Structure 1
Amino acid sequence: MPGPGFPGGIWRQRADDWEFLAQAARQLAGSAPGHPGSAVLAECLRRLDRLEPLEAYWAFPGPGQVGRIRRCLRDGDFRAALGLAEATARRLGPVPGGNPGEEAPEAPERHSFEVLVIDDVSPAERALLQESMHRLRHASDQFTYTVNVVPSVEDALMAVLLNPEIQACVVRPGFANRSRARLDPGLAGYLGTVAGADLEQLAALPRTLRLAEGIAALRPELDLYLVAAVAIEEVAGSLASRFRRVFRWQALQELHLSILAGVAERYETPFFDAVRRHSQRPAGVFHAMPVSRGTSVTTSKWIGDLGGFYGLNLFLAETSTTAGGLDSLLDPHGSLRAAQVKAARAFGAQRTWFVTNGTSTANKIAIQSIVAPGDVVLVDRNCHKSHHYALMLAGARVAYLEAYPLDEYSVYGAVPLENLKRMLLDYRRAGRLEEVKLVALTNCTFDGIVYDVHRVMAECLAIKPDLVFLWDEAWFAFGAFHPVLRRRTAMAAARRLEQDLAGPEAAARYAEQAAALHDAATGEPLEDELWLRTRLVPDPARTRVRVYATQSTHKTLTALRQGSMIHVYDRDFNRLNAESFREAYMTHTSTSPNYQILASLDAGRRQVELEGFELVQRQVDLAGSIAAAVERQPLLRKYFRILGPGDLIPPACRQDPPHGAGAVGLAELDRAWRADEFVLDPSRLTLHIGLTGVDGDSFRTSCLMDRFGIQVNKTSRNTVLLMTNIGTTRSAVAYLIEVLVQLAAAFDEEQAGMSPAELQARAARVASLTTAPPPLPDFSRFADRFRSGPDTPDGDLRTAHFLTYREGSCRYLLPEAAARLVDGGEELVSAAFVTPYPPGFPVLVPGQVITREILEYMAALDVREVHGFHPEFGYRVLA
Structure 2
Amino acid sequence: MNIIVELIEAGAYYKDAPIHDLNNALKGRGFEVVFASDAEDLMRIVENNARLCGVIIDWDTCPKDLCQRIHAFNDFLPVYAFSNSDDVTDASMEDLKFNVEFFEYGLSCAEDIALTISQKTQEYVDAITPPLTRALFRFVDQGKYTFCTPGHMSGTAFQRSPIGTIFYDFFGANTFKSDISVSVGELGSLLDHSGPHAEAEKFIAETFNAERSYIVTNGTSTANKIVGLYSAPSGSTIMIDRNCHKSLTHLMMMSNVTPIYLRPTRNAYGILGGIPRKEFMPETIAGRVEKTPNATWPVHAVVTNSTYDGLFYNTDFIKRTLDVKSIHFDSAWVPYTNFSPIYKGKCGMSGDAVPGKVIYETQSTHKLLAAFSQASMIHVKGEINEATFNEAFMMHTSTSPMYPIVASTETAAAMMRGNVGRRLIDESIERAIRFRKEVKRLHAETDSWFFDVWQPENIDEKACWELKPEDAWHGFKNIDGDHMFLDPIKVTLLTPGMNKDGTLSERGIPASIVSKYLDDRGIIVEKTGPYNLLFLFSMGIDNTKAMGLLRALCDFRRDYDRNLEVKRALPSLYAANPAFYEGMRIQELAQGIHALIREHNLPELMFKAFDVLPDMVMTPYAAFQKELVGEVEEVRIEEMIGKINANMILPYPPGVPLVMPGEMLTEESRPVLDFLLMLCEIGAHFPGFETDIHGAYRQPDGGYTVKVIRQG
Change (3 A) 1:709 1:439: same
Give the structure, 1 or 2, with the largest relative contact order (CA under 8 Å, sep 6 or more). 1
- Whole-Å separation in 1 of the counterparts to 2:256 and 2:584: 60
Deviation at 1:860, TM superposition (A): 2.4
Q: Does the 8 Å CA contact 1:645/1:680 hold for their aligned counterparts?
A: no
Q: Secondary structure at the match of 2:362?
A: strand
Out of 441, 447, 454, which is 2:303 matched to? Answer: 441
Q: Secondary structure at the match of 2:240?
A: strand
Q: Does the 8 Å CA contact 1:714/1:838 hold for their aligned counterparts?
A: yes
Match of 1:683 in 2: 489
Match of 1:52 in 2: none
- Whole-Å separation in 2 of the counterparts to 1:600 and 1:705: 29
Moved more, 604-613 or 770-779: 770-779
Q: Does the 8 Å CA contact 1:164/1:613 hold for their aligned counterparts?
A: no
Instruction: Write the letter of the residue equivalent to 1:799.
Output: A
Task: Among all aligned residue pairs of Structure 1 and Structure 2, give the percentage whose two residues are the same amino acid.
Answer: 24
Change (3 A) 1:338 1:723: same
- Whole-Å separation in 1 of the counterparts to 2:187 and 2:588: 66
Out of 413, 419, 443, which is 2:273 matched to? Answer: 413
Deviation at 1:146, TM superposition (A): 2.5
- Whole-Å separation in 2 of the counterparts to 1:357 and 1:636: 50
Deviation at 1:453, TM superposition (A): 0.4
Q: Does the 8 Å CA contact 2:327/2:360 hold for their aligned counterparts?
A: yes
Change (3 A) 1:276 1:637: farther
Q: Does the 8 Å CA contact 2:495/2:511 hold for their aligned counterparts?
A: yes
Taking the TM superposition and a 5 Å limit, the aligned residue runs for 1:557-596 are 557-570=369-382, 572-573=383-384, 577-596=385-404
Change (3 A) 1:483 1:166: farther
Please list the CA deviations of residues 337-377 of structure 1 after superposition, one character each: whole Å capped at 9, or x if unmatched.
10110100110000000000000000000000110112111
Match of 2:526 in 1: 713
Taking the TM superposition and a 5 Å limit, the aligned residue runs for 1:319-358 are 319-323=180-184, 325-358=186-219
- Whole-Å separation in 2 of the counterparts to 1:254 and 1:780: 60
Out of 729, 739, 745, which is 2:552 matched to? Answer: 739
Q: Does the 8 Å CA contact 2:616/2:663 hold for their aligned counterparts?
A: no
- Whole-Å separation in 2 of the counterparts to 1:760 and 1:659: 29
Taking the TM superposition and a 5 Å limit, the aligned residue runs for 1:503-652 are 543-570=355-382, 572-573=383-384, 577-610=385-418, 611-633=420-442, 634-635=445-446, 638-645=449-456
Deviation at 1:720, TM superposition (A): 0.9
- Whole-Å separation in 2 of the counterparts to 1:780 and 1:335: 50
Please list the CA deviations of residues 54-112 of structure 1 after superposition, one character each: whole Å capped at 9, or x if unmatched.
xxxxxx99xxxxxxxxxxxxxxxxxxxxxx9953443123696xxxxxxx548323389
Change (3 A) 1:448 1:646: farther
Q: Does the 8 Å CA contact 2:218/2:375 hold for their aligned counterparts?
A: yes
- Whole-Å separation in 2 of the counterparts to 1:330 and 1:865: 36
Match of 2:606 in 1: 775
Q: Does the 8 Å CA contact 2:260/2:289 hold for their aligned counterparts?
A: no
Q: Secondary structure at the match of 1:489?
A: coil
Deviation at 1:578, TM superposition (A): 2.3
Q: Secondary structure at the match of 2:308?
A: coil
Q: Does the 8 Å CA contact 1:348/1:492 hold for their aligned counterparts?
A: yes
Is residue 694 of structure 2 the alignment partner of residue 867 of structure 1?
A: yes
Deviation at 1:685, TM superposition (A): 0.9
Deviation at 1:333, TM superposition (A): 1.5
Change (3 A) 1:307 1:764: closer
- Whole-Å separation in 2 of the counterparts to 1:806 and 1:660: 46
> Structure 2 unaligned runs (5+)?
1-6, 9-34, 78-91, 102-119, 459-464, 498-506, 567-582, 680-688
Q: Secondary structure at the match of 2:386?
A: helix
Q: Does the 8 Å CA contact 2:182/2:400 hold for their aligned counterparts?
A: no
- Whole-Å separation in 2 of the counterparts to 1:474 and 1:854: 27
Q: Does the 8 Å CA contact 2:510/2:590 hold for their aligned counterparts?
A: no
- Whole-Å separation in 1 of the counterparts to 2:121 and 2:53: 16
Please list the CA deviations of residues 582-616 of structure 1 after superposition, one character each: whole Å capped at 9, or x if unmatched.
11001000001011101111111110113221111
For the aligned residue pairs, the C-alpha RMSD in angstroms reads 4.1
Match of 1:109 in 2: 53
- Whole-Å separation in 2 of the counterparts to 1:487 and 1:632: 32
Out of 434, 458, 462, which is 2:320 matched to? Answer: 458
- Whole-Å separation in 2 of the counterparts to 1:380 and 1:816: 27
Q: Secondary structure at the match of 1:590?
A: coil
Is residue 535 of structure 2 the alignment partner of residue 722 of structure 1?
A: yes
- Whole-Å separation in 1 of the counterparts to 2:99 and 2:606: 64
Match of 1:378 in 2: 239
Please list the CA deviations of residues 828-860 of structure 1 after superposition, one character each: whole Å capped at 9, or x if unmatched.
110111222333221111110124212111122
Change (3 A) 1:289 1:110: farther
- Whole-Å separation in 2 of the counterparts to 1:254 and 1:635: 50
Match of 2:251 in 1: 390
- Whole-Å separation in 1 of the counterparts to 2:697 and 2:565: 42
Instruction: Write the letter of the residue equivalent to 1:487.
Output: G
Q: Does the 8 Å CA contact 1:374/1:395 hold for their aligned counterparts?
A: yes
Q: Does the 8 Å CA contact 1:351/1:569 hold for their aligned counterparts?
A: yes
Q: Does the 8 Å CA contact 1:444/1:476 hold for their aligned counterparts?
A: yes
- Whole-Å separation in 1 of the counterparts to 2:650 and 2:587: 36
Out of 136, 143, 146, which is 2:67 matched to? Answer: 146
Deviation at 1:625, TM superposition (A): 1.7
- Whole-Å separation in 2 of the counterparts to 1:442 and 1:357: 19
Q: Secondary structure at the match of 1:866?
A: strand
Q: Does the 8 Å CA contact 2:68/2:95 hold for their aligned counterparts?
A: no
Change (3 A) 1:469 1:580: same
Is residue 301 of structure 2 the alignment partner of residue 475 of structure 1?
A: no
- Whole-Å separation in 2 of the counterparts to 1:757 and 1:710: 22
Q: Secondary structure at the match of 1:547?
A: strand
Q: Does the 8 Å CA contact 1:837/1:863 hold for their aligned counterparts?
A: no
- Whole-Å separation in 1 of the counterparts to 2:139 and 2:634: 54
Is residue 646 of structure 2 the alignment partner of residue 835 of structure 1?
A: no
Match of 2:17 in 1: none
Match of 1:296 in 2: 157
Q: Does the 8 Å CA contact 1:470/1:548 hold for their aligned counterparts?
A: yes
- Whole-Å separation in 1 of the counterparts to 2:122 and 2:278: 49
Q: Secondary structure at the match of 1:804?
A: helix
- Whole-Å separation in 2 of the counterparts to 1:679 and 1:253: 38
Taking the TM superposition and a 5 Å limit, the aligned residue runs for 1:48-59 are none
Q: Does the 8 Å CA contact 1:291/1:297 hold for their aligned counterparts?
A: no
Please list the CA deviations of residues 704-745 of structure 1 after superposition, one character each: whole Å capped at 9, or x if unmatched.
111x10012211121110110011101111111111111111
TM-score, normalised to structure 2, is 0.74
> Structure 1 unaligned runs (5+)?
1-59, 62-83, 97-103, 114-125, 135-144, 149-158, 169-247, 499-542, 662-673, 787-795
Q: Does the 8 Å CA contact 1:693/1:769 hold for their aligned counterparts?
A: no
Q: Does the 8 Å CA contact 1:404/1:413 hold for their aligned counterparts?
A: yes
